[in-house]
Structure 1
């Protein structure tokens, strides 16, 4: 009985600690220290009855954010333009949902896809 309770508690803890580590989307706009990226697929994969609207994530860029292409070649922020497809690797895993606060994230790396 105690083993079952411990197993359930550990399982719940692990489920609560998991989150998105990365996602892909279209780069909609570029700001001073951030990108706006379509993260709709990531939001919608967690729910079945999500409205059919686009969800945008504010991806914060820091001095530690790395930029590369899908082959691992180093890039700079200037190599990115609107409407390209990118993969965003988060600084820390987190749950991305319909809540606007959950869609303000920090990037560890941004990868330019299909260059």
Structure 2
């Protein structure tokens, strides 16, 4: 059941990311690289290369900074509310954004604000 929920969440994220002809996204799923007091750094190379229509390179690893506010809801994939301290490096999270964004190679485009963060557990 948990795998089905994860699969559905990933499918929803992909559909959302593609729904505007590759121009904007409203959610993103990625691996946590680093955790700071008010933000997460997550891998987002697949989203950047899709937006720029480039083939990508194994040498380029794009990251997105996900800002966390007092209004950001952090929860597990079963809906249980958790805290930032429950997240760890290498966890995979799905992030629902507060507004649509277009991700590019430009670092400023890869700063996002999280409405919800969902920890995807195995």
Shorter-chain-normalised TM-score: which range?
A: 0.7 to 0.9
Residue 40 of structure 2: which of 35, 41, 46 is its match? 35
- Out of 82, 85, 88, the residue aligned to residue 81 of structure 1 is 88
CA RMSD for the aligned pairs? 1.7
Which residue is equivalent to 1:108? 115
Q: Where do residues 10-29 of structure 1 align in structure 2 (5 Å cutoff)?
A: 19-29=24-34
Q: Secondary structure at the match of 2:88?
A: coil
User: Mind listing any 5+ residue stretches in structure 2 that lack a counterpart?
Assistant: 1-19
Pairwise CA distance, 1:50: 4.5
Q: Distance in 2 between matches of 1:22 and 1:42?
A: 10
CA distance in 1, matches of 2:85, 2:39: 12
In the alignment, the residues of structure 2 paired with residue 22 and residue 48 of structure 1 have an alpha-carbon distance, to the nearest angstrom, of: 19
Number of matched residues?
A: 100
Q: Structure 1: which 5+ residue stretches go unaligned? A: 1-14
CA drift of 1:64 comes to 0.3
Question: Could you list the runs of 4 or more consecutive aligned residues of structure 1 that deviate by over 4 angstroms after TM superposition?
Answer: none
Q: Does 1:66 align with 2:73?
A: yes
Secondary structure at the aligned position of 1:41 is classed as: helix
CA apart distance, 1:97: 1.2
Q: Which has the larger radius of gyration?
A: 1
Q: 1:94 aligns with which of 86, 101, 107?
A: 101
